[in-house]
Structure 1
Amino acid sequence: MSLDNIQLSPLLVEKLYSKALVDLNTAKAETENKPASAFNWLGKNKKNILIVVNEPEAAYLQDADLQLLLGILTACKLSSTEDIALLNFYTNKEADYASLNSALNPSTIILFGVEPAALDFPLHFPHFQLQAYNGQHYLSAPALKELATNVALKKQLWLSLQKHFK
């Protein structure tokens, strides 16, 4: 009999391993207590600012659009990785107003290239109109790609952001 072919009876295995290395009941309870978020976002969301984009060609944003967004956030005195949550609607199609509120608890929601109706918002508002509702502030704007090439649109966005982030 070689050591590679030892077969133990179930009774012997039970006696050898009477004390489990991992308590399966505790491990199961811990995983049940931590609900997994259905969404993937970038950032720590410390200031409860949700930025929603619609980018089919990247996980969150393409480099040029990310640079523009970082410039906007810096001008608003926000830290990109600390203060906001960046969510790509294209990769989170199940996102809607109610589920985003429960998952991220945003005080401000900024939409770039995403219409409020796509997220089942309870109200509709035009681009660049700062809208207050339900203790939150909303702002809708064209996609970052469009803003990058249109100075007039950038100015409109900046005026709206200045009103909010005084």
Structure 2
Amino acid sequence: MANQLTSNAEALRLFFTDDIYLVKDDSQIAFAEPVMIKSEVVPKETVITSIMEVNTVEDLPLIVEEPKPILKRNFNFEFLGKNQKGILILVNDNVNKVSSEQGTELLRKLVKAIELTNNDFALVNYSKYNDATFEDLSEFFNCQLVLSFGVETQQLGLATQPLHQLLNLGDTRLIFTSNLHDLDSDQASKKTLWTSLQQLKNG
């Protein structure tokens, strides 16, 4: 069969009687591509939980031990004299029973000057009882007056006080002064001490 296709213009007019126009269309249809929204994976919030450590305490025994009482030391003081007037004379000598020869002679003069006899006082060498307090001594001797030669206030558990002065502690009068041996050659201290001792005579 013969090919019926033709490109002859005269032949084509026989078939198409109407005018045909070729119109150029510049408008373009935009090709819309689907927009893909990339979803970003957001990590979950990190929740920080502060955990307090709880120390579990084991059950304690219900029995509570009572504090042990402090045992108070009882002193059995050795002393010279008879302590009939509650007068305590303290000396502090590691070598001699009372003091050196000079110190002992000075004490004899001082005692005589305030008109005391061996019956009136108790004389204790504190070097044998250097952990005894004023309270210990006061309870044992019922002190009304304390003359301390070479024993400091702190050693007796008392606050610091001036030397060679007459002091009052409750119902007890006290004089703290130097060691007898040292005091014998200290004229200024002896003079101050003598003034304090005169107050005892007048009082």
**TM-score bin, normalised by smaller chain:** 0.7 to 0.9
TM-score (norm 1): 0.73
Letter in 1 for 2:132: A
Q: 2:75 & 2:132 partners in 1: Cα distance?
A: 11
Q: Which residue, out of 169, 176, 181, partners 1:133?
A: 169
Q: 1:124 & 1:108 partners in 2: Cα distance?
A: 18
Residue 63 (structure 2) aligns with? none
SS of the equivalent of 2:99 reads coil
Q: Which residue, out of 73, 77, 89, partners 1:51?
A: 89
SS of the equivalent of 1:149 reads coil
Query: If each structure's helix is expressed as a fraction of its own residues, which one has the higher value?
Result: 1
Letter in 1 for 2:147: I
How far did 1:62 drift?
2.9
Q: Which runs of 4+ in 1 moved over 2 A?
A: 59-64
Q: 1:125 & 1:151 partners in 2: Cα distance?
A: 20
How far did 1:41 drift?
1.1
Contact 2:99 2:181 (8 Å CA) reproduced: no
Residue 67 (str. 1) matches residue 67 (str. 2): no
Q: Which runs of 5+ in 1 are unaligned?
A: 1-35
Residue 68 (structure 2) aligns with? none
Cα RMSD (Å)? 1.5
Residue 79 (structure 2) aligns with? 41
Q: Where do 1:1-166 residues align within 5 Å?
A: 38-79=76-117, 81-121=118-158, 123-166=159-202
SS of the equivalent of 1:140 reads strand
Pick 1 or 2: higher relative contact order, CA cutoff 8 A, min separation 6.
1
Q: Flag the structure with larger Rg.
A: 2
Letter in 2 for 1:76: I
Contact 1:39 1:95 (8 Å CA) reproduced: no
Q: 2:85 & 2:139 partners in 1: Cα distance?
A: 15
Letter in 2 for 1:137: R
Identity %: 31
Q: Which runs of 5+ in 2 are unaligned?
A: 1-73
How far did 1:56 drift?
0.7
Alignment size in residue pairs? 129
**1:34-72: CA deviations, max 9, x gaps?**
xx8511111111111111111011123333211110100
Q: 2:175 & 2:193 partners in 1: Cα distance?
A: 9
Contact 1:59 1:91 (8 Å CA) reproduced: no
SS of the equivalent of 1:165 reads helix
